[in-house]
Amino acid sequence: MSDTASATEVASGSRRTGTLYRGDPGMWSWVAHRITGVLTFFFLFAHVLDTALVRVSPNAYDEIIETYKTPIVNLIEVGLVGAVLYHALNGIRVMLVDFWEKGARYQKQMLWVILGLWVLVMIPGAYFMLVRTVTEMFGGH
């Protein structure tokens, strides 16, 4: 692309300057969808590897499973559930935008709906996932 704008670009105001990332909620949902998809892929890759380990060395498999019972891994699991849930809900929104004739018109409203659903599911989900870890770390019943 040349450094000088054509007369029609300047006249129409279509020449873009700077970055394409403008901070629009739709752009951030796109970025988050890609990131959560990659995170989910890497989790599934690691899960297949650690599960396959049971055939190679059952003792090594047992050691790996024990590390999964640590508080830090529990926090990572909560993050994983959040990533998978967001990716799934946003995937439904993306399909509606693509295949529903009014989808593009309502994409921002649908984004806020899926974010609301995400929060409604994640709050109790995170609570129940973290109860054991918090109890072990800080005592309790």
Nearest to 82, CA basis, from 123, 41, 51: 123
To 5 degrees, how large is the angle CA 89–CA 92–CA 95? 150
Q: Taking residues 19-34, what's their average pLDDT?
A: 82
Q: Taking residues 26-31, what's their average pLDDT?
A: 89
Q: Taking residues 75-97, what's their average pLDDT?
A: 96
Question: Average model confidence (pLDDT) for the chain?
Answer: 86
The whole-number pLDDT of residue 1 equals 46
pTM of the model: 0.77
Please determine, for residue 8, whether its predicted confidence score (pLDDT) is greater than 60: no
Which residues are CB-contacts of 92 (< 8 A; sequence separation ≥ 6)?
114
3-state helix vs strand vs coil in the chain, percent to 5: 75, 0, 25
DSSP state of 3: S
Cβ atoms 65, 54 nearer than 8 A: no
The whole-number pLDDT of residue 135 equals 87
Please determine, for residue 11, whether its predicted confidence score (pLDDT) is greater than 80: no
